[in-house]
Chains A and B, each alone.
Chain A
Amino acid sequence: MAYSKSFATFAASKIEHVIMAVLINNNSKIIVQGFTGKEGTFHAGQMIEYGTNVVGGVTPGKGGQTHLDKPVFNSVAEAVSKAGADTSVIFVPPKFAPDAIMEAADAGIKVIICITEGIAVQDMVKVKAYLEQFPDLRLIGPNCPGVISPGMAKCGIMPGFIHRQGKIGIVSRSGTLTYEAVDQVTKAGMGQSTCIGIGGDPIIGTTTKDAVELLMNDPDTEGIVMIGEIGGSMEADAAKWIKENGTKPVVGFIAGQTAPKGRTMGHAGAIIGGAEDTAEAKMKIMAECGIHVVSSPATIGATMAKALGK
């Protein structure tokens, strides 16, 4: 099986559906941490409306109640034992989100998607090190729009209606820019297998390379859109991996070609420190590694269609 280790469990379960997607699908048992809060309530409602298999939520102290017609649990461990939860979407405020991530990991959740923006860097450094003891676990985010496998499950804050089930995988550090790419792919007559918003923070659970690797190994993905931005070395790392291991066309865009040095551009991780952080340097290495690099964000969909001969 070409899936990463953590999804061998999914693959082995009784799925008769032909398309299985990566990270989440219609067999995922999803809970929402921060379920009864304002953000959690709104987005969990949207997820359920989309048809996502939300089996409940967690709000410490509110266990036993029912919210959005789903059970509320006091802890993630309770949600795992009583509802068989395997995936969690976190809408907990930044102060408490690091704890929520570690609680989910400790309870045995395999896919943790943390939407929360504004977590302190030193907290994430510690969380990241804590998660090393769970090799089968995958953290997406924080500071991300989440993950969607169109037609199956929506775990996050993205607008469901712009997506179409299809064969293009999308990896991005941004929210609305991902929607832009999704929309272009949809309008170009293609759909999406899984869209992974990896997040805009300096320390995130799943890197560009990790996400690209998942999609490269997904039999239902034919092409990959990789959207990066200034700051860090994730896109260069992914590009080098693609050069060695790529089997599908990859279209790449780097936001921030006009960003000044030394200024944080909205996302905590989007800052040019050294020469390698610039969009120019990243686009150069991506092109050298065989990625179809576009300089205009308006041509992502068309470039993918062309790369696939459509």
Chain B
Amino acid sequence: MNLHEYQGKEMLASYGVAIQKGIIATNLEEAVAAYEKVKEDSGSGVVVVKAQIHAGGRGKGGGVKLAKNIDELKEHAGNILGMMLKTPQTPGGLEGEGKLVRKILIAEDSYVPTFESCKEFYVSIMMDRAKKCNVIIYSTEGGMNIEEVAEKTPHLVHKEWIHPHLGLQPFQARKVAFNLGLSGKAFKEMSKFITKLYAAFVGSDASLFEINPAMLSGNDDMIAVDCKVSLDDNALFRHPELAAMRDTDEEDPVEVEAKSHGLNYVNLDGNVGCMVNGAGLAMATMDIIKLSGGEPANFLDVGGTADAERVEKAFRIILRDPEVKAILINIFGGIVRCDRVAQGVVDAYKNIGNIPVPIIVRLQGTNADIAKKLIDESGLEVRSAILLQEAADIVAEVLA
């Protein structure tokens, strides 16, 4: 689960991490009130208007603007709120349709006393799968695309691995500050910043923190100016307050609906829908669709209890996509009995009425033969198969 920038900052602040302060607004009136408050608190009439969507690179699409007075604030807030913001990370990238901006953050200008006196760093924390522990990745090249920095100047990207039981040690926090070339007060502030940030990462069961930029002001204060926070869904039971921050407006509405029915669904751009039990087999089924000359329209794992009700829900969700030209159902019955799934397909077909695309059902495993008979005798226009290759061949045939 991803947090918005303002939510991430709220969480970081609760762990004592210094953040660029700001107030959230959903309309122009709130934006003006937020501006007045930020101005009063910071003593500066300069603010940054930041679009709040779940995607990086917001500045590139015009979603982040500096406002030096109330008129500029109104102009930028008016432009950004309600815009379809395109960034390199929104669906389709800068050429796509973008994402609707529903909220903006009116943030203080943290670059004090002057912009030139401040320095930007990059800090992220994630779990390193190969080393099986958390790693802090940091660089002097703040505000940049870190993947590019790593490619062009790998010596400027440092990593610090953290012991799973001991946690971040003081010498490691100092090492980070030292490697970033800091001394004096700045050195101490960076060590503190890293220590608190790591505590927040572990405390919130995050899967990713990306602070870019982490800014050292001209007064040698460390501030998280931006933050990207992803949390581990499997750990949300420990964090009801963070779970409540989920913004389903930022997620694909069909995926949200599928999830509420216990279906694991990912929308894709292809023309053949699929319904499978098990994630690995679902990915393999997508692959076989491609090998048969089609493109998968979705990933859909119906889970371990593929009953008639779920099958019908899955059908309805796949059929929402107008691009779908055929549907392949691939079930390997273990605990799931194929005859029950077959009955689900027959029932769903009858309940939905006219299904305008060919359906290929491949049922294998427990009671596969009974299931095939059920499908074949139903009188429905459903093609059945037992071997995976047979199913692939039928997909190729209907697409031809």
Chain A residues in the interface with B (C-beta under 8 A): 42, 94-95, 118-123, 125-126, 128-130, 157-159, 161-162, 172-180, 183-184, 200, 202-203, 227, 229-233, 253, 255-260, 263, 265-270, 279, 295-299
Of all chain A residues, the one with the shortest Cβ separation from B235 is A120
CB-CB < 8 A to B392: which residues of A? 296, 298
Q: Per-position contact with A for B285-305: 1 when CB-CB < 8 Å, else 0?
A: 111111100011001010000
Cβ–Cβ < 8 Å partners of A162 in chain B: 334, 365
A310 to chain B, nearest CB (A): 18
Q: In this complex, which of B127, B164, B296, B365 has the most chain A Cβ atoms within 10 angstroms of its Cβ?
A: B164
Q: Which residues of B sit under 8 angstroms from A297, Cβ to Cβ?
A: 281, 284-285, 287-288, 388
- The answer to whether B299 touches A259, judged by C-beta atoms less than 8 angstroms apart, is yes
B334 near A158 with CB under 8 A, answer yes
In the assembled complex, the CB of A102 is this many whole angstroms from the nearest CB of chain B, namely 12
Known A233-B130, A296-B389; further 13 A-B contacts with Cβ < 8 A: A121-B205, A128-B132, A129-B163, A129-B165, A177-B284, A200-B279, A232-B129, A258-B268, A258-B295, A258-B296, A265-B299, A266-B299, A270-B279
Give the dominant DSSP class at A's interface: loop
B residues in contact (CB < 8 Å) with A: 127, 129-130, 132-134, 163-165, 202, 205, 207, 232, 234-235, 237-238, 264, 266, 268, 270, 276-291, 295-296, 299, 301, 332-335, 364-366, 387-389, 392
B interface secondary structure, majority: mixed
Q: Is the CB of B165 within 8 A of A268?
A: no
Find A267's partner among B266, B280, B291 (CB 8 Å cutoff).
B280
Are A129 and B284 neighbours in the complex by a CB distance under 8 Å? no
Contact A157–B279 (Cβ < 8 Å): no
Question: In whole Å, how far is B266's beta carbon from the nearest beta carbon of chain A?
Answer: 5
> How far does the Cβ of B131 sit from chain A's closest Cβ, in whole Å?
10
Residue contact A121 to B388, C-beta cutoff 8 Å = no
Q: Would B364 and A183 count as touching, CB distance under 8 A? A: yes
Sample (30) of A-B pairs whose CB atoms are under 8 Å apart:
A120-B205, A121-B207, A122-B232, A123-B235, A125-B134, A126-B165, A159-B335, A159-B365, A159-B366, A175-B281, A176-B280, A177-B278, A180-B281, A184-B388, A203-B132, A229-B283, A233-B130, A257-B290, A258-B283, A258-B296, A260-B266, A263-B266, A265-B279, A266-B283, A266-B299, A266-B301, A267-B280, A268-B234, A295-B287, A298-B388
Q: Do B291 and A295 have beta carbons less than 8 Å apart?
A: yes
B residues near A159, Cβ cutoff 8 Å: 333-335, 365-366
Complex CA distance for A119 and B291, rounded to whole angstroms: 34
> Which residues on B sit within 8 Å (CB–CB) of A119?
234
A123 to chain B, nearest CB (A): 8
With the chains together, A79 CA to B234 CA distance in Å? 30
Among A125, A161, A258, the residue within 8 A (CB) of B133 is: A125
Q: Give chain A residues whose Cβ lies under 8 Å from the Cβ of B130.
A: 232-233
Q: Which of A121, A157, A269 has the most CB of B within 10 A?
A: A121
Given A202-B129, A266-B299, A266-B301: A174 and B164 interface contact (C-beta under 8 Å): no
Task: Identify which of A130, A180, A268, A269 contacts B364 (C-beta below 8 A).
Answer: A180
A94 to B234, CA, bound (A): 8
Please state if A176 and B278 are interface contacts (CB–CB under 8 Å).
yes
Compute how far the CA of A227 lies from the CA of B278 in the bound complex, rounded to whole angstroms.
14
User: Nearest CB to that of A130 among chain B residues?
Assistant: B165
Contact check, A120 vs B232: say whether CB atoms are below 8 A apart.
yes
When chains A and B are docked, how far (Å) is the Cα of A174 from the Cα of B283?
10
A266→B365 contact, CB < 8 A: no
CB nearest neighbor in B for A126: B164
What 6 pairs across the A-B complex have the smallest Cβ distances? A174-B280, A266-B279, A176-B278, A177-B280, A120-B235, A255-B283
B278, A174: Cβ atoms closer than 8 Å: yes
Min C-beta distance of B389 to chain A, whole Å: 4
Residues of B within 8 A of A175 (CB): 278, 280-281, 334
